[in-house]
Each structure stands twice: as C-alpha cells, then as structure tokens.
A and B are shown apart, each in its own frame.
Chain A
Amino acid sequence: MIWRYRLTLIILLLTFCLVVARLFYWQVVKASELSLLGQSQYGKIIKVLPQRGEIKTSDNFPIVANKISYLIFSNPKEIKDKNKISLLLSKILNTKESSMSAQLFLDRFWVPLKTGLTTKEKENIEKLSLPGIGFEKQFTRYYPEASMAAHLLGFVGKDEAGQDKGYFGIEGYYDRLLKGKGGIAVQIHDALGRPILSRTNQNSKETKGSNLILNINRSIQFIVEEKLKKGIEQYGASGGLVGVMDPKTGNILALSSFPAFSLLDFQDYEQRLYKNPFISNLYEPGSTFKPLVMSAALNSKLVTPQTKCPVCAGPISVSGFDIRTWNNKYFKDNNMVGIIQHSDNVGMVFVAQKLGVDKMVSYLSAFGIGDLTGIDLQGEVSQPLPPKDSWYPVDLATKGFGQGISITAIELLSATSAIANKGVRMEPHVVGAVEDPNGKISKIPPKVLGKPISQETAKIMTEILVNAVNKGEASWAKIPGYRIAGKTGTASIPVKGRYDVNQTIASFIGFAPADNPKFVMVVILDRPTASIYGAETAAPIFFDIARDLMLYFGIAPSE
C-alpha cells in the first residue's frame, strides 16, 4: 500500500512543479510581452506630443511662444458620401476641392487633411458631426512680436521624419534643448470601449522642452529695428545690419538685419534670406578696422598718440601700388589722433608697417579676427587670417586700413568691445539663462575670451575715438552733451577682382558713454545710394539709435 501513497505523492509533486514552471514561464519569462498584449486589448496608446520650449526676451516676455492648433484628419473608409464631404471641407478649410477629394478617395485608414486649424475652426467643423473626420491637438509656434528678430530666432521646420526641428538662429543652435521628448500615454478602457482610468504611464513634464531666456532687450530690439528699417529706406540701401552688445558681459542686447523673412511664412521666402548676415556674411570692414590696428601699435609702444606720420604728406607707393586717402586730402606730419580723425589710409599704412606682419597677426588673432567668436547662433562663419609667410608688403599695408581682409559684423563688434571694456574681450552671448521644465533656471555666466590690449591702451584709444566723433566726418550727427567713441567706415565692394567705387559698405562702430560704456554698437548699410559714405548714412542711424538708448538707460549728458 505504501508504494501507492508514494506514487500519488510523486505525481502530485510533479504536477505542482509543472504548474510552478508554467507560471514562471508566463509571469516572468513572458511577462513584458503579455503586458503589452494586455495593454493593446484594454488600452489605447496615445502619443503625447512634445511642447517646444519658449524663447523669452530679458524682460521675460515670450517672443516665441506656443499656441494650440489642430490637425484635421480623416478615415476615408468611414466616409460614404465622399464628394459631398470634400466639397464641404474644401469650402470651410479654404482649399481646392480637387485636392481634398483626392485625399478622401485614398485607400487608407488615416489621411491628414490640414494643419494649423484654430480652436474656433475646429469647433465649427465639429458642429457638423461629419463621419470619419477627427482632430489631433498640436503645438505650433506663435510670435507675439510678429517677425521681430527673425534672423536671430530662426524657425521651426520639419526634418526627414516629419518631426519638428529648429533651423538657423537660436531655434537651430538650441534645438536639442528646446524640443521636448515625445511621450506615450495609455488610455485604459473596458470591454465596451468605455474609459476606466484616465491615463497611465504618462510623465508630461519629461515631454516639454526647456525655455530660453535671452539677453536680448525687447525695447532695444524694437528701437533698433524701427530705426534700421527707416535708415535703409532713407538712404536707399539694399540691406542693413545693427548689433548692440554690452561690452562688460558680452550680452547681445539687440541684433537686427534686413531684408529678413516672415517667421510664420518662412517657406514663402528665398532660402538665401534665412541666413543671418550678421554672423554669416563676410565683408571688408574698411575704416572701422583702423581702431584695432591702431590699438595694436599703441599697445606695442611702437607709436604714441603724438607720434608724427612722416609719410602722410601725399600718396604712398607700396610694391608698385599707389595708396591714397579716401578724399585725396593729405595732412603732413599728422599724428595718430589725426590719422583716426581724418580716417587717413596713408597714416594707417605707416602704422601697419611699424607693426609688421608678426605683431599684426598676433594682435588681430588676440582680437578674435579670423576666428569664430563663439556666439550661440547657428551659422557663424569666419575667414582665417592668411599664414604669416604669405603676407606681401601690400597686404600688410591695405589690411592696416581694413581692405583685403574679410570679417563678419560680429567679429568686428566683439573685437571693438575689448576697447570699450578696458582691453578685455568677452564672448558674445544671446542666451542668458535656461529654464528647465521644472522651472529651475540655470544662468549662463559671462566668459572672458582674452585681453588683447592693456587697460591704459584701451583708455587712450577711447579718447582717440571720442575725438574722431567730435571732430571727424560724422561730427555733424553726434549727440550734443554725450561723450561717444566711434569710427566711420566706407569700404568699396570687390567685384570681379576690382573695387567698385560706387558700391560701398557704409558702417559706423562705437560705444557710449565713452567713460563707462553701456553698449557697443555697429551699424552697417549695404550699398547705400543716397550717399556712399558711412559718415553720411550709417553714422546718423547710429546716433539716432544711441539717442534713444541714452534715454532708455537714463544716462544724463556729461558735457
């Protein structure tokens, strides 16, 4: 009898082991697979679309925000009277009936019909209770200040996979921070399809992108854009740029360029307009480059402000090339102050020759010329300085007055800011802080790029530039009572290897107040027709903006 009991026990134990093994297989080995299968039966997976981070100006105003819009889609298999519905929808959505009809006759379960519908439009269509028509909530970019700072901001387009992607400017540079992470939520329902629980597995905070707080001052940007537009029109220029920077921190306060594009309808504009000319276009700076070369010579103690120019009595010949002043006027024994005041090309040839190639290259590199400034915008370019052994004497001479060298406007702004900031060059920066989805703000600290000149040299150069404003060609436009340091520039445009004297880049760079600068600003006009000279076109725009900025900053006249 005992063997029977034992046999039964063994059978029971084996059966128990089998059950345990099977349970282990389903509950451990196949657990995740079954869980997914279960979810697909009782739940519906909902894609949580990422909400892109906002871009705010320094006053916390969202210059780029998100608004809710809707994608209208259809399930053609559920629509019986396709002709009637395509006619109805084409009228409401303001699209061609033929294209709407073509979409509805597709043999698919899901066909997108139109994006960017407003809440009101969506509600109007919903009232019609059309079969096979649905909506998907989306976030699209919204620009409360319309196309202000279009080049600076960039835009959001689609990538190869149809996902939102930032292009150009801040949208392009900070795309990874701005774009949220797409999430998934599961809507659980019962056997009849009624929802049991609202949602599970959702973490909406993870899906949102970070906000960016810019150093851009909305009021200054607005002033700059208004004045620049007016100036371009007034002087018949084909375009123009203005950049305003705080020399002490490198914060970009305003950056504007025209012609620009509409941020909402960017696809309707030529692609060449997407590039920000302030950081992507190279140009010959002309006389606005002279303060950099003069600072280098002063800092090297090769000249002093009182050093007389022994070759300034007439044109100078370098390697067979005759170099003249811009107005063919010559000042015998002109000193360094006079050379900058009269924007004397011959005098600058003397300074450049004193400096020599080695020191010229070394100082220009320290000023950041020929290198990227590191500004946090997509699309910055630079043209490296030629190697020292490939500099001919005429190259040294012409580069001394800003010809034969190509730089970007941001390079010039960044280099000149060193003169305004006691010889210290700061990295230009557009974004001041990043606000993560939890509301934590991380500030981006100012970064020192180097000290190309001493504080003493910067002070001397500032006085030379104040003198240039007070007594130079642009003195008629200056603001009475304020000490402003600045320099005009008129550079001929090289066309097919020759300089076209009638087509110029007119510019003015300066900073104010000279003793404690609040801003350094550059104004550049492309091919002005009312006058080809910087002193008659770019300079008045500079002073017009500076006047408003003095009021804005509450700076009282000092003289």
Chain B
Amino acid sequence: MFLIIALSLMRVIVSNNLSTAGITLLKLENRLNSYKIENTNLRERLLNFTSLSYISSESSQLGFVKNKTNFTLTKPLPLAIKQ
C-alpha cells in the first residue's frame, strides 16, 4: 500500500516536472540552433579567408612576388635505378 502511494506521488512529481520541460527543451533547441547558425557563419568567413583567390589578392597587396626561378639541390636518380 505504501509502495503504491509512493509510486503515485513520484509519478505526479515527474509528470509535473515534465509538463514544463517542453519550454526548457525549446529554449535549449533555440540556443543550439543559434550556435549552429553562428558556426555556419563563422565557417563561411573562415572559408573566405582560406580561399586561394583571397590569399592571392592579399599577398599581392602586401607586396609578395612570385618566385620565378627554379632552384634544385638534388638531381633525380638515374632511370635504370628508378625501375
């Protein structure tokens, strides 16, 4: 008898808590969504900054010039050894 009353009371408490959990869950979901959106927007900026077209234009603005000479220290191995 005592067990039934205890379980019933527990059910009432749990139901009471759950009935308002939706609002909390919604708030959490909204926060999650806003973080996701922020993440996507930040990723967009990151991709912009790491794109070759951006790096190329920035580097030329900063005065970098292309290395036009090809300097090598080693020669390729002879063909016979290679095969």
* A interface residues with partner B (beta carbon < 8 Å): 61-62, 65-68, 119, 142, 144-146, 148, 188-190, 194-199, 218-219, 222, 515-516, 547, 550-551, 555-558
Partner of A198, one of B19, B22, B70, B82: B22
Tell me whether A197 and B51 are in contact in the complex, defined as CB-CB below 8 angstroms, given that A119-B41, A556-B74 are known contacts.
no
List of 9 A-B pairs having minimum Cβ-Cβ separation, nearest first:
A144-B47, A196-B22, A556-B72, A198-B25, A144-B51, A222-B52, A195-B26, A198-B29, A195-B22
Bound form: Cα–Cα A66–B37 in Å: 12
Interface assignment of B63: CB less than 8 Å from any CB of chain A: no
- Number of contacting residues on B, CB 8 A? 26
Can you give 11 contacting A-B residue pairs, CB < 8 Å?
A66-B40, A67-B40, A68-B37, A119-B41, A145-B51, A146-B53, A148-B52, A197-B25, A515-B79, A556-B74, A556-B76
Min distance, Cβ A190 to any Cβ of chain B, angstroms: 8
Q: Which of B11-51 contact A (CB under 8 A)?
A: 19, 22-23, 25-26, 28-29, 37, 40-41, 43-44, 47-48, 50-51
Tell me whether A219 and B72 are in contact in the complex, defined as CB-CB below 8 angstroms, given that A62-B47, A65-B47, A198-B22 are known contacts.
no
Main secondary structure of the interface of A (DSSP, over half): mixed
The answer to whether A119 touches B82, judged by C-beta atoms less than 8 angstroms apart, is no
The answer to whether A194 touches B23, judged by C-beta atoms less than 8 angstroms apart, is yes
With a cutoff of 8 Å between Cβ atoms, the chain A residues found around residue B48 in the complex are: 144
With a cutoff of 8 Å between Cβ atoms, the chain A residues found around residue B25 in the complex are: 195, 197-198
Min distance, Cβ B31 to any Cβ of chain A, angstroms: 12
The answer to whether A218 touches B22, judged by C-beta atoms less than 8 angstroms apart, is no
With a cutoff of 8 Å between Cβ atoms, the chain A residues found around residue B47 in the complex are: 61-62, 65, 142, 144
The answer to whether A68 touches B53, judged by C-beta atoms less than 8 angstroms apart, is no
The answer to whether A556 touches B40, judged by C-beta atoms less than 8 angstroms apart, is no
Output the residue of A66, A195, A547 with the most chain B CB within 10 A: A195
Bound form: Cα–Cα A477–B31 in Å: 61
Min distance, Cβ A189 to any Cβ of chain B, angstroms: 8
Bound form: Cα–Cα A127–B60 in Å: 41
The answer to whether B56 touches A222, judged by C-beta atoms less than 8 angstroms apart, is yes
The answer to whether A142 touches B41, judged by C-beta atoms less than 8 angstroms apart, is no
With a cutoff of 8 Å between Cβ atoms, the chain A residues found around residue B23 in the complex are: 194-195
The answer to whether B40 touches A557, judged by C-beta atoms less than 8 angstroms apart, is no
The answer to whether B37 touches A67, judged by C-beta atoms less than 8 angstroms apart, is no
Given contacts A144-B50, A195-B22, A558-B76, 6 further A-B pairs with CB under 8 A are A67-B44, A68-B37, A144-B51, A195-B25, A222-B52, A557-B75
